[in-house]
Amino acid sequence: MTVAVTSHVGARLEELRGQGRAALVGYLPVGFPTVPGSVEAVRTMIDAGADVVELGMPYTDPVMDGPVIQRAADVALANGTRVSDTLRAVEEVAGRGAPVLVMTYWNLVLRYGVDAYARDLAAAGGAGLITPDLIPDEAADWFAASDAHGLDRVFLVAPSSTKERLASTSAASRGFVYAASTMGVTGVRASVGERAEQLVADTREAGAQNVCVGLGVSTPEQAAQVGRYADGVIVGSALVRTLLDASDEGAGLDALAAATAGLAAGVAGAR
């Protein structure tokens, strides 16, 4: 893109590349188990070693999410979590050493107003958006708003993406390109898709500076494996599951910290 916008997440990935390692990108949904509880969880995740935060906005129809994140989103919505809570949560976790991206299905942003959302996200200290059901072809408003407010825009590529689409999506993205490791939705899997490494190579070849890999990464071993070739390792369901499975909030935070630290160690030892 022609507009000169400094990418906060891009800068972080660059810095970590200088240290010879990939970033650990940790996902948690706002409002699970409660809004304050989710803020506490994100802080715990950052303190335990997450380099970049992906904060999920709960949505009624999350078609790219598997059962773990669906359950957490259902709880968050049942508790009355609002879009405005996400912006407040961004404000409360920004400035803690990890740039904060919001992951959102697009209708929530459309309803808020694309430019208004970008303005308020930037004001809250957010770094940008990950948009699982928005392709660059439909994103004219978002290009303008993200340029105007200096935000990253992370689009996804998949093993099914053609070379042409890898190139156009890489050109459209800022911060990084999110490479889906496999054809599927979020969730814990026994192994990371074999096509992930090739997809990262192809996406770089197509012009992307930074490529992070998500979907199905859950163990320190998988994180290490992906961290060898990707600029970032994105973990969601495995972290959310620690909170879902815990007997109380304190135990959940302890389990989350332990899981994050394990993944961070995996990423750190990858290369």
Residues in contact with another protein by the rule CB under 8 A: 59-64, 66, 70, 74, 77, 82-83, 106-112, 132-135, 137-138, 155-162, 165, 169, 180, 183-185
Closer to another protein at the Cβ: 102 or 134?
134
Give the Cα-Cα-Cα angle 44, 48, 49 (nearest 5 degrees): 125
Quick one: which of 119, 205, 125 has its CA closest to 161?
A: 205
ω into 33 cis (within 30 of 0): yes
Shortest gap between Cβ of 80 and another protein (angstroms)? 10
Annotation says 54 is catalytic: yes
Closer to another protein at the Cβ: 111 or 271?
111
Shortest gap between Cβ of 96 and another protein (angstroms)? 26
Closer to another protein at the Cβ: 173 or 222?
173
Backbone angles phi, psi at 98, to 5 degrees: -130, 125
DSSP 174: B
Annotation says 65 is catalytic: yes
CB-side neighbour CA atoms (13 Å) of 180? 20
Shortest gap between Cβ of 39 and another protein (angstroms)? 19
Closer to another protein at the Cβ: 1 or 63?
63
The tokens for 33 are: 């188990």
Among 40, 51, 61, 65, the active-site one is 65
Shortest gap between Cβ of 217 and another protein (angstroms)? 17
Got the DSSP string for 16-47? HHHTT-PEEEEEEETTSS-HHHHHHHHHHHHH
Among 54, 92, 197, 202, the active-site one is 54
**Catalytic positions:** 54, 65
